[in-house]
Every structure is written in C-alpha cells, then in structure tokens.
Chains A and B, each alone.
Chain A
C-alpha cells in the first residue's frame, strides 16, 4: 500500500478556496485516491475519490496529474464548519478498498 504525505495543518478564512496537496510517490497502477473528512467524535466521512485527471462533486474537486504521484483536494469557499481533519489515502479498490490512514491535515477555518 502506498504511503501518503500531506501537510500537518493549514489555516484559512471563510469564503476562501482551500487546496490540500498529498504526495503518494509509490502509487500503484490499480490504486485509487480517496479523501475523507473527520470531525471530533465522529467517524471519517467520504469526500471524494478519483483515479486520474479531475473529479468534481457537490462539495469538492480532486485534481490528479498525469503521473499520479500527487493529488490536490480543493474545497471551494470554505466555511467555519469545514474545520476538520482531512485524510488522503490510496488503496486498491478491487481488493476491498483496504486503506491505510496517515496523520491527516488539520484544517482550521477562521472568521
């Protein structure tokens, strides 16, 4: 399973776009890139998943360059409620989506 590296923490202000970049140099051909969000006293919540190029859903976008050795989670116009820990994971979706969580990025959104 590929190891991921992401910043320990980031600060932002309400209304700004936040980009969290994750590196995964050893990503394998079959690996998908998945991002989760976790609030205190709750389980991680799925945000977005992608394999290559760009994926967008109602809450975020995921940008993956051609070499797939990194990925960037983009949160448009963050609010105070986006303050949470964000995890980047890679895992082979065809093998039960076994995932290894890293330390995550603590995002603090200020008013």
Chain B
C-alpha cells in the first residue's frame, strides 16, 4: 500500500531552535494537510494545500509557523523559533479531491 511518509519520526530540541518537519505525500495526491495533535486539543487542522497552493492556513500561528510545498513530492512545516507549547505530534495527510485523506504516522516533537 502507498503511504504518506513523515520525517523525522521523533524530534527533541531546545526552545528557540528552528524545527523542520517533512512529508512525502502519496504519489499523485493533489491535496496535503498538516495537523497537530495534543491531549488537550485533540487533532487540529493547521494548514492545507491543493496542487501545491496553500488554501487555508488559518489554524497556524503565523508568527512562528510556516508551511510550504517546494514540489509535489515534498511538504514542509517549519517552526521558528520553537516554544515548549509547540510540543505535540504533527501529522501530514494527503488525498485526492472527493477521496478520503491518508495520514502518515506523525512527527513527535518535544521542545525543552
């Protein structure tokens, strides 16, 4: 089965450092989503793209978060500077219009 691949799977870093999370969507999928999951807030949609263009990033703190798709095979989510409250599991999902999303297994981020 084709899968969404996320790297790294785990990341531990100190407050203030830049964090970059990467996602390789399933080949041929034209929509990409970024989610954040915490115990308190559950799964929150941060941003999503269609055909590499950002359609909605209203769920993202704009001052420190940025999401891009340099090409169709790579989506990135950056946090700069990182803060302890950013500690969470970040999921990427991809899909096609009118089809369900497929999720990766996430990046577990810990900011000390």
Contacts and interface: CB of A to CB of B under 8 A. Distances in A.
Question: Chain A interface secondary structure, helix, strand, loop or mixed?
Answer: loop
A102 B42 contact: yes
Contacts of A111: none
B48 A103 contact: no
Contacts, number: 57
Contacts of A44: 43, 91, 93, 103
Interface of B: 4, 31, 33, 35, 42-45, 48, 50, 55-56, 91, 93, 95, 97-106, 108
Given A87-B43, A93-B98, 15 more contacts: A43-B93, A43-B104, A43-B105, A43-B106, A44-B43, A44-B93, A44-B103, A46-B102, A93-B97, A97-B97, A97-B98, A97-B99, A97-B100, A98-B33, A100-B45
Interface of A: 34, 36, 41-46, 49, 87, 93-94, 96-104
